[in-house]
Amino acid sequence: MLYFKASLEKPFTYISSGQFISEGNWIHSKRNMDSFEIIIGIKGTAFIMQDDIKYEVVPSSVLLLLPGHTHAGYQHSAGDTSFYWLHFYCHGQNSILNKQDTLNEISPLNSTPYFNKLSDSIILPVFWQPESIEKSIILFKQLLHIANSGYYTSFAADYSLTSILLELSQQFINASLKLSELSYSGNGNFNLLLEWICLNITEEFTIDELAEKFKYNKDYMAKMFKKHLGVSPKKYINGMKILKAKQYLGTLDLSIKEIAYKLGFKDEKYFMKLFKEYENLTPSTYRNAYYKIFYNNE
């Protein structure tokens, strides 16, 4: 696996972005570009090869295509394939790292967080699947809106692009550090618990049921959440539900009530109150805030 590291001292330059939606049997064209491209899977599978390495871009996976490298489709995708795409330039110092070099960059954060070699950089795998893609998708939709809203300065899109890269980088670093810390401290069961919450966030379950399922004392589990995540189990779970709600609000044609029920809330008014508590705006206001997206099918 290869990793991309880039300095934040010079701004990234936004070129273009959109949402691709395939019509019928589709395969990615062959090309070699002078810019970077990020692809985030939404639906179906896009089969894309960079040089001689084959990738399957499935929903929530992220692929970074590098300038000066040939990429092309190597297999046809079904007619319901869709993904977000984003082209940008990197003018600052950047490099491609191997796995060991990347670990050397990240590992000091575990023991010496104030000595951060990455404080002025982003670092991204060429291909990966973040645990929580929702924040990145929300930022991506904001970028699509900004890019198609006629802002008087191109810096608006450049800064929005940088926010996406920072969020993806933070997701990768968090996942790397959490895996390392939990493995080191013998708390693999807690990692499984977090994964279970992520996979079942649309279901209705209580804190007591969660503790029982993973054989934790309820008070001890609360201490684990506070130690590793800095919040209570309830606040973490509600935060995850709100993240999923924002994704649904931006991608699904469902009413607020339907989204509340889909996330395991029996009371839509409680859901709306909780959403406003976390986001400082109502679900309807959030849904209406970002709507301009460029769609393409070629």
Integer Cα distance of 171 and 163 in angstroms: 12
More confident residue, 212 or 291: 212
Q: What is the pLDDT of residue 118?
A: 57
Mean pLDDT across 33-38: 96
Q: How confident is the model at residue 291 (pLDDT cuts 50, 70, 90)?
A: low
Min mean pLDDT across 63-72, 143-152, 169-178, 196-205 is at 169-178
pLDDT tens for 94-116 read: 999 998 888 777 766 654 444 45
Q: What is the pLDDT of residue 252?
A: 82
Whether residue 157 has pLDDT greater than 60: yes
SS3 218: helix
Q: How confident is the model at residue 9 (pLDDT cuts 50, 70, 90)?
A: confident
Q: Delimit the domains of the chain by residue range.
A: 3-181, 187-289
Integer Cα distance of 17 and 144 in angstroms: 7
Q: How confident is the model at residue 290 (pLDDT cuts 50, 70, 90)?
A: low
Whether residue 258 has pLDDT greater than 50: yes
pLDDT tens for 41-68 read: 999 999 999 999 999 999 999 999 999 9
pLDDT tens for 80-96 read: 899 999 999 999 899 99
Integer Cα distance of 4 and 15 in angstroms: 19
CATH topology of domain 187-289: Arc Repressor Mutant, subunit A (1.10.10)
Integer Cα distance of 167 and 131 in angstroms: 12
Please say whether the structural domain 3-181 has been given the CATH code 2.60.120.280: yes
Whether residue 248 has pLDDT greater than 50: yes
More confident residue, 35 or 281: 35
pLDDT tens for 105-146 read: 776 665 444 445 556 899 999 999 988 788 898 899 899 999
Whether 172 contacts 124, CB under 8 Å? yes
